[in-house]
Structure 1
Amino acid sequence: MDDEDISGESSAKRRHGYTEQEITRRLIEAIFEQRLPPGERITETQLAGIFGVSRSVVRLSMSKLSDIGVFRKTPNLGYTIAAPSRAEARMMLNVRKMIEPDMVRSITMSRSAADIQRLADHIAIEEAARQAGDRSKLVRLTGEFHLKLAEISGNVYLVHILTQLQVLTCLAILVHAESETGCPRDEHSSIVSAIVEGDGDKAAAGMMHHLTHISEELQIDNLRPEPSLESALRWLGAGPESLICTS
């Protein structure tokens, strides 16, 4: 047995042999469902125990997610789940605005009957989750909608880039969004309707409106300085302006 295997796991689970790709996909799903809290520490040992694999397998997954900014590695402390700042969220959304409107415009020109059915099926599943009040599933599905569009585009680089941006956007929403509602029900369906109609400009405008709505939810144009350890240490080092006696 690998000396990094976690003892006590059932032999059935260990026989399953989760791959690095399966673990990565499962972690992304957890972020899409807003189950992983930003800023929290997460260890190889924890995940190895959950998945019943060696730490070396988990390490591959965590390293991949660290490379795209989902996990942040600190020497001697391990990994923490990213908690993107508003400035980082602004950069993410700006990139998405550069990419996604043109992506759906292109899809409108090349869509097939199978593509349209795939999108219609996804919208129906989103609505079913909304009607059932299954918020976690709905949040995951609304995130996956953007990845489905990237897959339909047939561009593997778009899939890679949007997976990274969508996961980080979900973490930013957890940190900064004041509303807990999922995407409004009409925004995704309006984009799909425009694709079905073959109206590329309308699809692009719908996507831009949708991404602008996300930007507003994240308050990315809020100019209020965000707290940071560096600014806190400067404040502490400056000393108190006055001493308030409470006795």
Structure 2
Amino acid sequence: ELGAEVIPVGVSPNGTNINKDVGSTKPQLAAETVVAHGADIGICLDGDADRVAIIDEHGRVADGDQVMALLASRWAADERLNDGTLVATVMSNLGLERFLQGRGLTLERTAVGDRYVVERMREKGLNLGGEQSGHIVMTDFATTGDGLMAGLQVLLAMADSGQPASALTRQFEPVPQMLRNVRYAAGQVPMEAATVQTAVRDAEARLVGRGRLLIRKSGTEPLVRVMAECEDEGLLSEIVGGLVSEIEAAL
């Protein structure tokens, strides 16, 4: 309806193939299609279309952090970003936080899950939030994550600015991030071990002013997730590897 040529991929559901090798969690096919057809942009949604991944004209995938950075900066310039604040979870990249700070904007972090993002937005009267995974919540338009609307907002930015998707969806350079999972058995509480707690304190001290550390239990599986960010990738690998070893030793 807007005059674009649209090349659909992964739109033949048979009742059992939802998200199978397509969509925001597996955007490879869409990325290949963008490059093969010389398309300007690819928009990948998950099965219920509340998550989005954007693919630029070179086939590079942009996550929710980059989309939120784009929208926050545009909305702030138009004085549309409530209280100059974006809501995201603890998993969003440190690079996003620094990007916002450099523009006088604020990042509010919540626990992982779009429900917590929405709760914080309602609590503080904010109108933009989301997750690195691609949930983008824009309460000016909807009450929950809406991948279709987020994709349209990126298209609007392209039309307004005349810039390609590659320029608009690389708003900041992500800080190197490493995530490792440690599985534990029922009844085990590895994070309460004194050796693990000491290792966590030591790791946090080494990252002061250089990065950040996040250790949390999965909400859906018996896993401890160890995530760290640091510009020094050698130090990053050393810290995450050391913590994983300590947690495994405590099991």
In proportion to residue count, which structure has more helix? 1
Which bracket does the TM-score occupy, shorter chain normalised?
under 0.3
- Report the TM-score when normalising by structure 1: 0.23
Q: RCO (CA 8 Å, sep 6+): is it higher in 1 or 2?
A: 1
- Report the TM-score when normalising by structure 2: 0.22
Instruction: Select the structure of larger CA radius of gyration.
Output: 1
